[in-house]
Structure formats: structure tokens, C-alpha cells
Structure 1
Amino acid sequence: MQTLSDSFRCGFVSVIGRPNVGKSTLINSILNTKISIVSHKPQTTRHRILGISSSKEHQIIFVDTPGLHQNVNSVINKIMNKTAVNAILKTDLILFMYEAKFWTDEDQNVLKKLQNIDVPVIALINKIDKIHPKEKLLEIISKSSKKYSFKEVIPICAKRRTSLNKLIKVIPPLLPVSPPIYSSKVKTDRDESFQIAELIREKLIIYLQQEVPYGLSVQIESYKKNKRDCSINAIIWVEKDSHKGIVIGKNGAMLKKIGTEARIEIKEKLSIPVYLEMWVKVKKHWVDNNQDLINLGYNIE
């Protein structure tokens, strides 16, 4: 019988694709845990977030990344693109995701960045539930195989968990033989304070108008947790005075709605009563200010 060091496999698996292709949904579905927030709007994922799947035979460290996009006018957009590119360069395996119904210029742009890498790439054709009739899927798979020398081409539906068991079986043999990096109990590298800030930002993204979410960030000012309850003070930073009014809403209705939704989910996550207070403040041009971005937890190196 082989020892752990002889047989155990562990490595990083970067999930790459354009914005809104389902990368975070994939990792959440595989882990059966909400590691990354999800919405239908671009720039929902702004940071590199690890989701860790462990078994007796392997440890797969999924790297959730911001969507690679062509609009890099602001400093924060450049940071997000750099984060995604670094995930391509520093990994053991790449999962390249795109939608079954669409192949866009942004998808092609992502594929170009994979041309000179020396790690295996698996193509994941997501949202196959939207393909009708199903015979069309064979044509899509055939076209995908001609785009790049993929190790595998796997049609999936991340939201419905279709074919995810197959994916999990394919990944470990492509990882290096190595002992685990994280404890088997660890699901992510991000602490609770970060996760709670992201949950609040998710509710802001969902409920606010199209232009507002891109100019806001959430900072946890105080986080006090004990066995009985949890008290959280959060600051919502916006770029413009007009956005502050939108976030607060008439007579504070929008902020109250967002706070209620966030508090319910945080309570479910922590399994204790939660007291959440939020303030909305203006920090003009923070998306283009290196020091502001550092203070808000962005890695600009």
C-alpha cells in the first residue's frame, strides 16, 4: 500500500474566463459552500479567492479570479486583470470556462492569453441547459476542440451541478504528487470578515442600479464575535455624492432593505444572532487611487 507522500496529489486549479461566465458558481457548487459571491453583473468577483476541496486522495485548490475583460481604464480594472493573468501563470491546471450559447471577443481574448503556457487546460462549456435541441451540443464540443489543444472538453451546468462529478474525477491525475497545503477542514483562504464584507457587497450589487455597484466597496470597521452573537460595523464607500443618496434610498429604505438581506444571510452563515450597522461614505475616485485601494484590501503589486 502506498504512503500518503507517494500517492497524494495537491495543486492549484485556476478558473479562468470572461466576466459572468459562471466561475464563482462553479466553485461554490463543487464545494457545496458559498465561497464567492454571485450576481448577473460584471466585476462581482474582484479578488483572488481560494476554494479548497479535500479528500483522502487529493486536495484541489480552486482559484476563483476576476473575469478577464478588455476595459482597463481604471486602476481597479487593471488590478483585476492582473490578478486573473497571475492566476494563469502561477497554477498547475487551468479550467477555461465559456458559455455554450455564446463565443465572444472577450472569450477569444482570454484564449489568447493561454497560448504560451505549459500547464494543461480543460475547457468547460457552461450553461448547457440553455442549448436546444441537445444535438447542437455535439457541434459546440467539436468546434471547441478545434480552438485549442485542450486536455479535455467537458460540457457542464455549474448552477445545476451537471457533470461536476466527472470534472472532479478528471482533475486529480493532472495535479502534482504533493502533500496537502491546507488542513482538510479549511474551505477557503479568506477570513470571516472578508466574507461578510463580500456578502454585503453582493446585496448592494443585486439591488442597486446598473452604474452604482462598480463604484462602491465595503469595509468592515468592527467585527466582534462570541459564542452568543456577532456585532458588525460596516462602511459602504461610494465614489459620488449622488450614489450615496441612491444607496441610502428614500427615508433610508434601500439601505434598510440591503441590511436586512445581508443580516439574514450572515446569521445563517454564523448560526448566531447578528447585529449589523452600516454607514455610507463618499471617497471620490477611490477606484483610481493606489492608497485607497490598498486600504480597502486590494493587492496592487
Structure 2
Amino acid sequence: MAASRSTRSSGGSRPLAAASSNLVPVGESPPGYRAGFACFVGRPNAGKSTLTNALVGSKVAITSGRPQTTRHAIRGIVHRDDAQLILVDTPGLHRPRTLLGQRLNDVVRATLSEVDLVGFCMPADEPLGRGDRFIAEELARLPKRTPIIAILTKTDKVADHDRVGARLLEVAKLGDFHDIVPVSAVRSFQVDVLADVLVSHLPTGPALYPDGELTDEPEQVMVAELVREAALEGVRDELPHSLAVVVEEMIPREDRPADRPLLDVRVHVFVERPSQKAIVIGAGGSRLKDVGSRARSQIEALLGTPVFLDLHVKVAKDWQRDPRQLRRLGF
């Protein structure tokens, strides 16, 4: 898996424009080949990251039942004989209550202005609400040339097919969509159909990434996300938004034999209050140990090498509202 990932940078996630401006066509592509960027948007916890992973066929975005899990524009690359589809999974678009929320919305809006088409994700198991209408209004401001595909996600959570049909009718009234596709990423229901629909709206042109590359996210960003995903498991409702993770260093252990390498990974997990620090650490450090164990296995699978993961929990008071601390944490 590690061999298929780009390691062009060790910094934070780059804006889409910065990434795409550095791309050059990769080799020759057959006539009629399509390549381009599609952005998934939706309110928090609409299933965007799970759908991205299902389409790519590998885990490139972390997932959680908690809203606002995604905090960067994560790019996943779908390779087909006839096309290359670059998916951009974005944070949930919402009415922000913190400076962090405003900056996450800025990430979404910047991405929307740069992609070739947009997939608007709405969960089938929840009624359409103010958040969906808020996003529909945002998308209505895009240039008319940008195709918008409505995607009804999580259909596996709705047992009654009539309810799915009713939800599709509601979605159709929400905006002027080029296509409407119901899917279940968990059950692979119509994922291939959605891929065909998205590809049909891409411009013709050569591939932009080498064959087999699944994401252009820097490895340090991916490692930090895997630690945050593990830390989000089982925490209280008020804690997920307060969690931030920074990889301080990734250094091969010296004096190790070539056939027994070890990578030292030092990570800081930031929270906003001392009481939250106690929650993350757990009684006698039990919870932090569990977080480290689950994250380490994922990191080793990502990097393809044994890892010694050194986790430290720190308090950065009210970092979601502090511009200086937001910059330090990569936002």
C-alpha cells in the first residue's frame, strides 16, 4: 500500500489549485479518455468519506460516526481503463460556530470553485433539513457549467424501498441536478453506477496521476488522520470537535539491521481543556494505550514498516477559536 502513495510533501494538506497546478499529463491515453476532479459535499456525517473509500477501493479518508470528521480536502484517485477520476472529499459544509468551522467552510468553497463536477451527498436515513437546503443554496451559486450530481447515501440503513423512493423525490425538488443516484457504500450498491455517472461528466484528456497511485496526501497527514480516527472511537459527544493531531517527527530508528527496520513516530494529540485530556488518556492511561494500539496497526499497514508510536496529549486552550493556534495546528 505504501508504494502506491505519493510522498511528495511532508507538510499539511495542500489546496486543490496548488496540487493540480503541479500536475502534468502522464504518458499516452486512449482516444476519448477522461480525467478530472469531482468534489463530494454534504452536511457533516453524510457519508462522503466512506463513499470516497468505496470508489477508490482503498482507505484514503478516515471515517467516524462523529460529525466533522474530515478537516482537509482529501484526494482519492480512481483508475479505470477509460478514465481517471480524482475525488476530493471535503469537510461537511455547515453554519459555523467557531473560527475552525469558518476555515473548514473556506476549504469547501475553495474546492468547489476548482473542480469539474460536484457530488452532493444526502443520507437516505435522515430527512432533508436546513443543512441540506443551505448547501443547495451554495451550489446554486456555482457557474451553470459545473454539473451537480445528487447522491442519496446510506440506502442500506433504510429497509423500506418506498421510503428511498420518497426521499429521491424530495431530493429532486431540492435543485436542478444533472443526475440523481442512490448508493450504499457499505453494501457496494450502485457504487459502480455512480462511478460511471461521475466519469461521464469529466472532460476528455490524459491521466494526471501515475497508474496505481491512490492519493497524493503526504504520509504525515495520513498518519495524523489515522491517530485522530482511533482517538475518536468511543469518546463523548463534546470531545470530537476539540481533538487535533500533529505528527512532530517520523524518523527511522538508528542502528537497526536492514531486515528489521523501525520507524519512530512522535505524535501530539491536542485538546482544549484538562478535563478532555483526562478523557483521552483514560484511567491509568488505558484509553490512550488502546488508541495507540489501533492507530499503530493502521499506520504500519499504510507505511509498510514496523512503527514505534509515541503519543502525547496536550492542552491547547480554545484552539478552535484562536487564529494563532489554528495556524500552528495546520488550519
Residues 263 and 306, structure 2, Cα contact 8 Å, conserved in 1: yes
* Bigger mean CA deviation after superposition, 285-294 or 213-222: 285-294
- Rounded to whole Å, the distance in 1 between the matches of 2:289 and 2:43 is 33
Q: 1:123: how far off?
A: 0.8
Q: 1:73: how far off?
A: 2.1
Unpaired runs of 5+ residues, structure 1, are none
- Superposed CA deviations along residues 209-242 of structure 1, whole A, max 9, x for unmatched, are 2212211211111112486232211111111122
Residues 248 and 255, structure 1, Cα contact 8 Å, conserved in 2: yes
C-alpha spacing 1:150/1:230, structure 2 compared with 1 (3 Å): same
Higher relative contact order (CA 8 A, sep 6+): 2
Q: Give 2:200's aligned amino acid.
A: P
Question: Hey, what does 1:75 align to over in structure 2?
Answer: 99
Q: 1:219 aligns with which of 246, 250, 262?
A: 246
Residues 75 and 88, structure 2, Cα contact 8 Å, conserved in 1: yes
Q: 1:41 aligns with which of 61, 66, 69?
A: 66
Q: How big is the alpha-carbon RMSD for the aligned residues of Structure 1 and Structure 2?
A: 1.7
Asked whether 1:262 is paired with 2:287, we answer: no
- Superposed CA deviations along residues 83-142 of structure 1, whole A, max 9, x for unmatched, are 112222221111111011321111111111111322111111111123232133333323
Asked whether 1:183 is paired with 2:204, we answer: no
- Rounded to whole Å, the distance in 2 between the matches of 1:252 and 1:79 is 33
Q: Give 2:80's aligned amino acid.
A: S
- Written as runs of structure 1 = structure 2, the 5 A alignment for 1:1-301 is 4=29, 6-70=31-95, 72-101=96-125, 102-117=127-142, 118=144, 119-225=146-252, 228-298=261-331
Q: Give 1:242's aligned amino acid.
A: S
- Rounded to whole Å, the distance in 1 between the matches of 2:131 and 2:326 is 26
TM-score, normalised on structure 2? 0.84
Q: Give 1:171's aligned amino acid.
A: L
Q: Give 1:170's aligned amino acid.
A: V
- Rounded to whole Å, the distance in 1 between the matches of 2:280 and 2:159 is 40
- Rounded to whole Å, the distance in 1 between the matches of 2:312 and 2:164 is 49
Q: 1:68: how far off?
A: 0.8
Figure out how many residues of one structure are paired with residues of the other and give that number.
Answer: 295
TM-score, normalised on structure 1? 0.92
- Rounded to whole Å, the distance in 1 between the matches of 2:217 and 2:105 is 20
Residues 30 and 82, structure 2, Cα contact 8 Å, conserved in 1: no
- Superposed CA deviations along residues 235-287 of structure 1, whole A, max 9, x for unmatched, are 11111122222211221111111111111222233333211111111111221
- Rounded to whole Å, the distance in 1 between the matches of 2:73 and 2:276 is 27
SS at match of 2:246: strand
Unpaired runs of 5+ residues, structure 2, are 1-27
C-alpha spacing 1:251/1:138, structure 2 compared with 1 (3 Å): closer
Residues 236 and 281, structure 1, Cα contact 8 Å, conserved in 2: yes
Q: Percent identity?
A: 33
Q: Give 1:74's aligned amino acid.
A: T
Residues 156 and 186, structure 2, Cα contact 8 Å, conserved in 1: no
Residues 5 and 177, structure 1, Cα contact 8 Å, conserved in 2: no
C-alpha spacing 1:142/1:242, structure 2 compared with 1 (3 Å): closer
Q: 1:143: how far off?
A: 2.9
SS at match of 2:241: helix
C-alpha spacing 1:238/1:54, structure 2 compared with 1 (3 Å): same
- Rounded to whole Å, the distance in 2 between the matches of 1:186 and 1:293 is 30
C-alpha spacing 1:237/1:133, structure 2 compared with 1 (3 Å): closer
